[in-house]
A and B are shown apart, each in its own frame.
Chain A
Amino acid sequence: MRLFIQRLFRRPLTMLGLLLVAIHFGIALAAPWLTPHDPLKLLDAPLEQPTGVYWLGTDELGRDFFSRLLLGGQISIVAAACAGLIAAFGGGIIGLATAYHRGLFDDVVSRFVEMKLSIPSILLVSLFVTGFGQSLAVLIGVMGLIYMMGVIRTARAQGILIMEQGYVKAAKLRGESASAIILREMLPNIADLLTVEFALRTSSALLLVSALSFLGLGVSPPTPDWGSMIQSGLQSIRSEPWLILAPALCISTLVIGINFATEGVADLLGLEAARGATGQ
C-alpha cells in the first residue's frame, strides 16, 4: 500500500486529478454551509456585476451566481454517482453471473447488452423521459441501466478468467451455491476493476446529465445546475461571459479530474481502463 501511494505521488497528473475530484466533492458536500446567499432567492437586480457582496454578480433572474455555482454540481454529482454505483454493482454481478453460467443465459444477456449499446445514450434517456416524465429517479435509473451494459462486458471477460482459478473450482467442489460463489468468491476479486468502472461510468454520467440539463431535459429549474446555467448564460455571452465560463470550467475540471485520477490509478493497478471504456 505504501508503495502504491509512493508511486501515486510520482504521477503529477493523477495527483492533479485526485485533487480536483477532492475539491469538487468537498464543495458539493459542504455547499449548503458555504453558500453566502440563498441560491433561489431573487435579489433586487438581475445581471449585477461582481461585487464584494455578490462575488460573481447575479444571474439573469437576480440570484446570487456564486451560491448557485457552488450548488450547481450537487444534483449532477449525486445522480451520476448513483448511476455509476448501480452500473458497477449491477453490471459486476450480472457480468460474473454470465461468466459463471455461460450457455443460453450468457447469449441472451450478451445480445441485450449489444442492443442497448446500439442506442445512443441521449436517445435512450429521451425515450424514457417521454414515457415516464422528467424526474431525477428516472434519470438515475436509466443512466444506471445504460452504463451497466459496458460493465457487464468487462466483468464477464474478467469473470471467465477467474473461473479458471483454483479457489473458484475449490468452492464449486465444496458444493457452494452459484450466488455464494459469485458474491463471495468472485466479486471481491474484481473489486479493483469495478472501482475503476464506477469512476469511469460516473464521469460519463456527469457529461450526460449536464448535456441533458443543457437541452432542458435534465435537472429542472429553479434547482441550480451547471448544464442549465450554461444554457441560460448564453443570453449574455458577450456582456457577462463568466456566466458561461464559470460553470463550464466547473463541469470540465470535475470530469477531467475523474478521468486523470482513474487513468493513473487503473494504470498502477494494472487494469486496462483506457481502452474503449469511456465513450458514451
Chain B
Amino acid sequence: MSIVNRRDLLQGGAGVALLAALDASLLGEAVAQEQPKRGGTLAYAQLSANRRSAGPNNSKHPYFIVDANTKQIWSTPTWVNPELGLELEIATKLEPADDSLKVWDMTLREGVMFHDMTEMTAADAVASFDYHRQNAPFARQITKVEQTGKYTVRFTLEAGNAEFGYVLAEYNSPIMKAAPLETIGLDGIGTGAFKIVQSDPNRLMILERFESYWRKGLPHLDRIEIHNREGQQESALNGLRSGQFDAVMNIDGRAALQFQNDPNFEIETARGGYSFVIQMPKHPGSPFLDKRVRQAFAYAIDREAIVRVAYSGRFGWIGNDSHLMVTDAAFVPRAGGRDVAKAKQLLAEAGHPNGINLGTLYWSPQLPEAGRYFQVLQQSVKDAGITLAIEERPNDGYIQFRTGDNDLSKGNFHKFAMTAVGSRNPGISLFRMRAAFVESGHWRGPEHDKYLALYNQAMITPDAAKRKAIYAEMQAILHEEVPAILPAGGNTLMVKRKHMRNMPYHPQIWSIRYEEIWRA
C-alpha cells in the first residue's frame, strides 16, 4: 500500500525498540488487511511554521501559508519520496536537453484540472515558474522558462545542475493558474487533492476534497482542518487529548515521550527532519567578519547538551555546520567535539582575550524545541567567554525580518538569527551556503569561490560516487571557514490518534501525500 520502507527511516539507538514496538502494533495482520475507506475529516494542529506574512490579502497564496500545507492544495512537477528519491508528479517527463545540464525539457501530464475546472497547461507552468524564479531561493537558478508546446516547457538554468529535478519538487514550486506576476496565486486555486474553502489567516485553514483530482483510486478524505498552533505545543496536545485534533504535526521529543505508552495514540517519525542554521552577518564592522570568531563560536557550543535538552537525546543528532542532515549519505561529521579551551584561544588571537559580546541572536518558534535549543546554546557558549542575548520573534513575518535586503548597499542588513532547515538532496542543501543566499551570512572570499566552483563541478558530474567525494571536499571547507553554524538537528515527529491510517511521516513534512490518508 505504501511505498515507504518505514524501518529504514527509523533512527538507531534506544529509539528503535520503542518505535519498532509501535511499528509492530501498527502493521499487525488485522490492520494491514483493512480496506482503506473514503471520506471523513482529518483535523490536525500544526506546530511548525515557515511563513511569510499571512494577512487578509494574501492568506491563500501558496507562499503565505504554512509550507507543510502547500501540496495539499497545489501540485508540483516532481515529488520527493520519503527516502529522498525523486519521482515525477504532474510532470510525465523531465530531461536535460544536452550534457551541459543547463537546459531541461519538461512534459506535463494531460487532463490535470484546476479547482475551478479549467485544464492545466504549459502556460500555467510558465507563468508559475516565472514567479518562482524571481521569488523562491532555489528557483532563482532558472534564468528563462518558456512554453514549447501545449504541455511542454523548457527551463534554462544559470549553470548545469544534475539535481535540478529536486528544485521542481520544492514547496515553493507549485503550479498556479496563469495570471500576471502581481496577482498570481492569490486566488488559492491549485490542482491539488484538496481545495480551500476557508482561510483564517494565522489561525485556521479548511480544505475539502477536490473530486476531479488527477490521481484516482485513492482513499481521499472529505475534509482537512489545519489549526495553526505554532509556539503553542501544549495547547495543541491538550486539544489532541480532548479529541479536538486527530494529529499534531512536528511535536518535540519531550511530547513524544509523553505519548509513547498511551494506547490511544501513535507516534510517527522520520529521521533527519530538521536542523537550525544560525546565519552570521558579515557586513563591515561585524565581529563575524573574523573567521576565528566564527570558529570559536562553533567550538564553544555544547552540541551534545542541545541534543539532550532540545531533542530528549534519542531524537536528535549533532550537526556539521552544513545544511546536510545526518541521514544524508554525503554527510561528513565535524572533526573534534566541543573545545572550550580552543574557543578561548581563538578569541584571544582575534583580539578578544576577555571574551566577546556577539549581540542579539533572534529566534522564532518555528519548531517547538527552538526555545530550549537556543537557551542551551546561549548558556553553553558562556563557558568560552561568549555572551549573546537571545530574543524571540513570531513566525509571522519572520522571514522578512530575518533576511532584510540582499543588496548590502540598501543598508537593511539581514539579522544574526536562526531559521529552521529541512531535509533536502545535497544539491539543494549545499547550494544554500552560496554568497548570494542569506543563510550563509553572505559569505565571500577565495574559499567561498572555491566552494562554489566545487559545487558547479558536482552539479555537472553525473556519477553519484564522484559527486559524493566533491561534497565531502565542500564540507571540509565549511568546517574550516564556518560561514554559518548548524549545531544540531532532530527527527520529525508526529503524534496521531490510532484511527488515522496510512499517515506515515516524511523527512520533508511538506511532501506528505495527504490524499492517501484515510480514517478508520
Contact = CB atoms under 8 A, between A and B. Distances in A.
Interface of A: 40-42, 44-47, 60-62, 216, 221-222, 232, 234-239
A237 B234 contact: yes
Contact of A42 (B254, B255, B380): B380
B376 A235 contact: no
B338 to A, nearest CB: 13
Given A42-B379, A61-B376, 20 more contacts: A41-B379, A42-B309, A42-B380, A44-B308, A45-B308, A46-B309, A46-B312, A46-B372, A60-B254, A61-B309, A61-B372, A62-B308, A221-B390, A222-B375, A222-B379, A234-B235, A235-B368, A238-B241, A238-B258, A239-B258
- B interface, size bucket: 20 to 34
Given A45-B308, A62-B309, A216-B392, A234 B234 contact: yes
B236 to A, nearest CB: 11
A216 B365 CA distance: 13
The 7 closest A-B pairs by CB, nearest first: A234-B234, A46-B309, A235-B234, A239-B258, A42-B379, A61-B309, A61-B375
Contact of B308 (A46, A232, A234): A46
B233 interface: yes
13 contacts: A42-B380, A45-B308, A46-B254, A46-B309, A60-B254, A61-B372, A62-B308, A216-B392, A222-B379, A235-B368, A236-B254, A237-B238, A238-B241
A221 B375 contact: yes
B305 interface: yes
A65 to B, nearest CB: 14
A82 B509 CA distance: 49
Contacts of B254: 46-47, 60, 235-236
A45 B313 CA distance: 9
Contacts of A46: 254, 308-309, 312, 372
A221 B391 CA distance: 9
B378 interface: yes
A215 to B, nearest CB: 11
Contacts of B255: 235
B258 A42 contact: no
A11 B428 CA distance: 73
Determine chain B's interface SS by DSSP, over half rule: helix
Nearest to A47: B254
A45 B312 CA distance: 9
Contact of A60 (B241, B372, B379, B390): B372
Among A40, A46, A62, A232, find the residue whose CB has the most chain B CB atoms closer than 10 A.
Answer: A46
B329 to A, nearest CB: 32
A245 B5 CA distance: 44
Nearest to B382: A40
Contacts of A222: 375, 378-379
Contacts, number: 46
A62 B305 CA distance: 10
A11 B246 CA distance: 54
Interface in B336-371: 368, 371
A41 B375 CA distance: 11
Contacts of A61: 309, 372, 375-376, 379
A40 B376 CA distance: 10
Contact of B305 (A42, A235, A236, A239): A42
A60 B376 CA distance: 10
Contacts of B234: 234-235, 237
A45 B392 CA distance: 24
A45 B254 CA distance: 12
B308 A236 contact: no
A239 B375 CA distance: 22
A42 B390 CA distance: 17
Nearest to A222: B375
Contacts of A45: 308
A40 B233 contact: no
Nearest to B371: A232
B376 A42 contact: yes
A40 B375 CA distance: 10
A172 B370 CA distance: 66
B366 to A, nearest CB: 16
A235 B309 CA distance: 14
A238 B255 CA distance: 10
B113 to A, nearest CB: 44
Nearest to A46: B309
B392 to A, nearest CB: 7
A46 B252 CA distance: 14
Contacts of B372: 46, 60-61
Nearest to A44: B308
Contacts of A216: 392
Given A42-B376, A222-B378, A235 B233 contact: yes
Among B241, B254, B392, find the residue whose CB has the most chain A CB atoms closer than 10 A.
Answer: B254
Among A42, A222, A235, A238, find the residue whose CB has the most chain B CB atoms closer than 10 A.
Answer: A235
A222 B368 CA distance: 18
A236 B380 CA distance: 24
A238 B371 CA distance: 20
Contacts of A47: 254
Contact of B258 (A44, A60, A234, A236): A236
B268 to A, nearest CB: 20
B47 to A, nearest CB: 12
A47 B257 CA distance: 12
B327 to A, nearest CB: 25
Contacts of B376: 42, 61
A137 to B, nearest CB: 16
A235 B258 CA distance: 10
Interface in B299-336: 305, 308-309, 312
B472 to A, nearest CB: 33
B59 to A, nearest CB: 24
Nearest to A231: B234
Interface in B235-251: 235, 238, 241
A47 to B, nearest CB: 7
Contacts of A235: 233-234, 254-255, 368
Nearest to B312: A46
B476 to A, nearest CB: 31
B382 to A, nearest CB: 9
A64 to B, nearest CB: 14
Contacts of A41: 379
A84 to B, nearest CB: 29
A40 B258 contact: no
A1 B392 CA distance: 53
